[in-house]
Chain A
Amino acid sequence: MSLLQVHQLKKAYVAPDGGTHVVVDVPEFSLAAQAQVALSGESGSGKTTFLNLIAGILAPDSGSIKLNGQELAGLSESARDRVRATSIGYIFQTFNLLQGYTALENVLLGMSFGPGADREFARALLKRVGLEAKLNHLPRQLSTGQQQRVAVARALANRPQLVLADEPTGNLDHANARDALTLIREACRENGAALLLVSHDRDVLGKFETVQELAKLNRAAMQPVS
């Protein structure tokens, strides 16, 4: 059985001229438990919106999103927050670390809204990503690569079933990007989480056994404003 099942998923925005801009129109998509899949997509292909719909940050206009059999599309915002807090990890291109919080506090926050803060597990995660000596450093005291590693640890902090990664290497140089990608994949595997990663970087996509083109998956990709 698939961990994630998407069916007839649609999301549109109202454009400034009043017209409707369909961003996501995905008839079918599924992801098996513990699988690692990359979605390739250029800017404007709706990849961030697609991930935000799966994460429950956005509500779809229509369609179905099932995570481990639970329908997310019809849930209230609060219920979607709950699912995200307990079952989904999210890695952003811009890391989105909270600047006033230390590395350890950022990771602790990743679990606080879900299973509850587990300081030992947070330390273990940061040790796993090689930041054992930087627990109490603020993001601005860390290098770009180190910040991304904190973001990886935070995404795994709530022991998620699914990790979403949106261009996770987009802000890293080549060497850091390679290391970060390896770390994300290994960490997800070790923690039993499935990984759905979107990127337009051919080097990144080349590391995945399964790559799907969002342009083919999403009928709305690159459609003009109607």
Chain B
Amino acid sequence: MTLPLIVAKSLRQHLLSTVVTALSLALAGGLLMAVWVVKTQANAAFTKQNAGFDAVLGARSAKLQLVLNAIFHLEASPGNLPWSDYQDIASNSAVALALPIAVGDNYHGYRLVGTSTNLFAVEHAPGRKYRVAEGEPFLPGYMEAVLGSFAAQQLRLKVGDKFHPYHGLNFDEKQMHEEEYVVTGILEPSNTPADRVIWIPLEGVQHMKGHDAKTATEISAVLVKLKNPIAGRGLELMYNKQGNRLTFAWPIAQVVSELFGKIAWFDRVLALVAWLVAGVATGSVLASIYNSMNERRRDIAILRALGARAHTIFCAVVLECAAIAALGMVAAFAVYLAITTVAAGVIRAETGVVIEPLAWQPVFAIVPVTMIGLSALAGIIPAAKAYRTNVAENLVPVS
């Protein structure tokens, strides 16, 4: 009872420094948790994300570029492949479903992806297909579009609205196509990159005015669903080792993990910076309490005169440092939520991948416990000073 009272009173007496120090710890703790969660969740979300496909077949290129373009709708297409390549793989006995896609246009930065109505037969998650929530699917050969849920929300397009596509993957208002498309449907949210795509019939991209006529029978890639995922090994051998014209990117998770391998150094730098911030914040606890020791000497002397043992005072100072850190860690969750909410929004807008800031992570325990422990450890230095306070000298002038 006495120790908590002494600590609570001291925190209140030094309210301004308590709040400032707790806030610096909150920023550090929130930043640490956010960096960790965004890193691990993004890693997990990207490597798990295959939008319902096992592999991608495309023009000869790096597998990562192929996957980023065809699955995540990022990066430029590495090149086209003839329709016959689609027919070949679609008829392969190991393939359950092949979905041709063609890219090359956008609407205000959101990609138009030409494909077949097979899209609506794909299970992007067990038991969950790309389902039109509002309206109906596009009809092949018609200038109709089905919007991913996020694209519809951001573009404020609804069923029945009309729009003109723009040439290229990046929005340029001077590049508007003459064709006018009508929105016939909006997909239900799938939490996949498909949410930020405007899906149109394959022929729409192939025959858009202004496109090279030679590419009218070509496609950008084929998304492949295998009957048995292990069958990908044979196809990989056939396309990548025996052939030199096409690339078969399989398995998708392994290809994406290469990306995180390449940017692992950046993760480490970010984590190092976050831990340095945490170290500085912990140091601020030490500085804050240590600098206030002069004004605390009289109170300490009075407590000692009342019979408080030196180790009681020592514990009170250490506990106060831990309490400041604990207050900071409570606020750190607010900082964490603010950072991850913004980060999740950006990641979703840019990639369609959803991360969940509220999902439990071990870091929610590791960071607060570490920060509180480090702050208590930092408190040992001012606590040692408090322990050595000369009671008689600080109590009353010696007569």
**Chain A residues within CB distance 8 Å of chain B:** 23, 41, 43-49, 52, 55, 57-58, 77-78, 81-82, 84-86, 90, 92-94, 96-101, 105, 109-110, 112-114, 117, 154, 158, 166
Contact = CB atoms under 8 A, between A and B. Distances in A.
Interface string B280-324: 000000000000000000110011111111111000000000000
B310 A81 contact: yes
A86 B307 CA distance: 8
Given A48-B398, A99-B299, 7 more contacts: A23-B398, A52-B392, A77-B310, A96-B395, A97-B302, A105-B5, A112-B1
Contacts of A47: 399
Contacts of B13: 99-100
A88 to B, nearest CB: 8
A101 B2 CA distance: 12
Given A44-B399, A48-B398, A100-B10, A58 B392 contact: yes
A123 B25 CA distance: 40
A57 B121 CA distance: 85
B307 A113 contact: yes
Given A82-B309, A105-B5, A112-B2, A98 B399 contact: no
Contact-residue bracket for chain B: 20 to 34
B207 interface: no
Nearest to B399: A48
Nearest to B2: A112
A113 B3 CA distance: 10
A100 B309 contact: no
A82 B5 CA distance: 20
B289 to A, nearest CB: 16
A94 B396 contact: yes
A96 B396 contact: yes
Interface in B310-342: 310-312
A86 B306 CA distance: 9
B399 A57 contact: no
A57 B310 contact: no
B125 interface: no
B307 A57 contact: no
Nearest to B311: A78
B396 A109 contact: no
B74 interface: no
A56 to B, nearest CB: 9
Contacts of A48: 392, 396-399
Nearest 8 interchain pairs by C-beta: A85-B307, A113-B307, A112-B2, A100-B13, A48-B399, A100-B9, A84-B307, A81-B309
Q: Most chain-B Cβ atoms within 10 A of its Cβ — which of A46, A84, A86?
A: A84
A117 B310 CA distance: 19
B209 interface: no
Contacts of A98: 9, 299, 302-303
Contacts of B303: 98, 109
Contact of A81 (B299, B302, B307): B307
A78 B310 contact: yes
A4 to B, nearest CB: 18
Contact of B304 (A45, A46, A57, A166): A57
Contact of B396 (A58, A84, A166): A166
A78 B309 CA distance: 6
Contacts of B245: none
Nearest to A112: B2
Contacts of B395: 52, 57, 92, 96
Contacts of B399: 41, 43-49
Contact of B308 (A81, A97, A105): A81
A97 B309 CA distance: 18
B68 interface: no
B275 to A, nearest CB: 35
B396 A92 contact: yes
Nearest to B302: A96
Given A105-B5, A113-B312, A82 B396 contact: no
B227 interface: no
Contacts of B89: none
Contacts of A77: 310
Given A47-B399, A85-B306, A57 B391 contact: yes
